[in-house]
Amino acid sequence: MSKNQICHFEIGVKDTRKAAEFYSQLFDWNMEPRPGASASEGSPPAIMMRTGGDVGGHLNALGHEPHNYTIFYILVDDVAAAISRAESLGGSRLVGPLPVPGSGTFAWIKDPEGNVIGVYTHQ
C-alpha cells in the first residue's frame, strides 16, 4: 500500500460482541479477535473486521470515554513527522505516538476543524 492512503479504520463501541454481530450481518464482514487482545467482562476489547477489500478495521472497547467514535488511519512514513506537520498547519496531537505490538506505531491528530484522524506506520 502506498503512503498517504487510508490503510485502516476503527469503530469505538461499548460492546464489541454486539457491534461485531451488527456489522457482520449488515455487511457480511468476517470478525476475529485481535491478536494479543484479552477478554474483559465477557466481551473482547478489540475485534478485527475483515471487509474483503484492501482496507480492514477493528472494533474497539476502550473501557472509558469516548465510547462511540469512528477514525480512519492514513499510512505515513513517520508518525512523529506527520504530527509535527499537522501542528504546523494548525492541527494538534491527541494521542501518541504509541506502539502497536508486532505491527507499527500510531497517533491521533485533530485537524483545525476538530475532526480526528489517525496516522500509522508499519514497523
Give percent above pLDDT 90 in the chain: 59
pTM, 2 dp: 0.84
DSSP per-residue string spanning 14-77: S-HHHHHHHHHHHH--EEEEPTT---BTTB-SEEEEE-SSS-EEEEE--SSS--SEEEEEEE-S
The whole-chain average pLDDT of the chain stands at: 88
Q: Where are the domains of the chain?
A: 10-69, 76-123
Query: At residue 36, does pLDDT exceed 70?
Result: no
Q: Is the domain 76-123 a CATH 3.10.180.10 member?
A: yes
Query: How far apart are the C-alpha atoms of 106 and 95, rounded to whole Å?
Result: 8
Give the model's confidence band at 40: pLDDT under 50 very low, under 70 low, under 90 confident, else very high: very low
Query: At residue 119, does pLDDT exceed 60?
Result: yes
Query: At residue 24, does pLDDT exceed 60?
Result: yes
Number of neighbouring beta carbons within 10 Å of residue 71: 19
Q: Is the domain 10-69 a CATH 1.10.10 member?
A: no
Give the total residue count for the chain: 123
61-78 pLDDT, tens per residue? 888 888 899 999 999 999
